[in-house]
Amino acid sequence: MARLLIVDDEPDIREIIRRYAELEGYEITEASDGLEALALCREHEFDAAVMDVMMPGMDGFTVCREVRKIRDIPMLMLSAKGTEGDKLYGFEMGVDDYVVKPFSPRELMARLKVIIARHAPKKEEIRHPDEIRVGDLLIDKAGRTVRVQGKTVELTTKEFDLLLYFAENRGIVLSREKILNTVWGYEYLGEDRTVDWQIKLLRGKLGPCRDYIKTLRGVGYKLEV
């Protein structure tokens, strides 16, 4: 069951979307403003979000930008402003689709299905439960091997553990402290530059897939194709 976050400061609009979404089989969570929505996205994973642009406290575009720092959630924005400039600004902010109020709930559901399907793992990515495929990377957890574009690459124990941690948290921003605590252990007494150096070595071995590991300055790293 897909999990949908509905964000709008108008209860009537949330109610309309919720009714249609429940008929489509979605599991619904609601938020009445941007700050509440951001807090929910930090604590929970959603398959998509339908979000109003103009809200008190924090507007939808700002929420989208902040959520993108921690999770890759498909975003469908609602707005009474439907000019080309408004839509282009929304897409520049990273939204997946833009629907103008007043809207057809059925059209909204159809658009929602499209963006969820677009973000769903491709069939060829679903393999043996001990394997994780990320783009041209294939990680065998049981055999502790990694292939890049079909060719096996030799990784140290720590490099493999680091890559596996990234792969199991694909699309999520991981701070240096979190990486140290998980991969090196809570008793590690070194400095967070150890992470930077290890990632530099790992990138060197990943060759054409080196750019899968993204750097978010001042925040941390994430694995994303």
Residue whose C-alpha is closest to residue 160's, from 132, 177, 141, 186: 141
User: What span, in angstroms and rounded, lies between the C-alpha atoms of 165 and 183?
Assistant: 7
- Residue 78 is inside which H or E element, if any? strand 75-79
Residue 49 neighbours by CB distance under 10 Å: 29
Q: Are 159 and 202 in contact (CB under 8 A)?
A: yes
Residue 94 neighbours by CB distance under 10 Å: 13
Residue 60 neighbours by CB distance under 10 Å: 26
The distance of Cα 83 from the centroid of its chain, to the nearest Å, equals: 28
Express each pLDDT in 71-127 by its tens digit: 888 899 998 876 777 777 777 777 888 888 888 999 999 999 988 888 775 444 445
* CATH architecture of residue range(s) 124-223: Orthogonal Bundle (1.10)
- Residue 138 is inside which H or E element, if any? strand 137-140
**Which are the contacts of 185, defined by CB distance < 8 A and separation ≥ 6?**
none
How does DSSP assign 49-63, residue by residue?
Answer: EEEESS-SSS-HHHH
How does DSSP assign 103-171, residue by residue?
Answer: --HHHHHHHHHHHHHHHSPPGGG---TTEEEETTEEEETTTTEEEETTEEE---HHHHHHHHHHHHTTT
pLDDT recorded at residue 192: 58
SS3 18: helix
This prediction has a pTM of 0.55
User: What span, in angstroms and rounded, lies between the C-alpha atoms of 18 and 112?
Assistant: 13
User: What span, in angstroms and rounded, lies between the C-alpha atoms of 124 and 134?
Assistant: 11
Q: How many CA atoms lie within 13 A of 52 on its CB side?
A: 26
Percentage of the chain modeled with pLDDT above 70: 92
pLDDT recorded at residue 129: 67
Classified by CATH at the fold level, domain 3-119 comes out as Rossmann fold (3.40.50)
Parallel/antiparallel/unpaired status of strands 27-31 and 3-7: parallel
User: What span, in angstroms and rounded, lies between the C-alpha atoms of 203 and 197?
Assistant: 10
Res. 190: pLDDT tops 90 = no
Amino acid at 63: V
Express each pLDDT in 26-82 by its tens digit: 999 999 999 999 999 888 889 999 999 988 888 888 898 888 888 888 899 998 876
Domain with CATH 3.40.50.2300 in the chain: 3-119
At residue 16 the predicted structure's pLDDT band, cuts being 50, 70 and 90, is very high
Domain with CATH 1.10.10.10 in the chain: 124-223
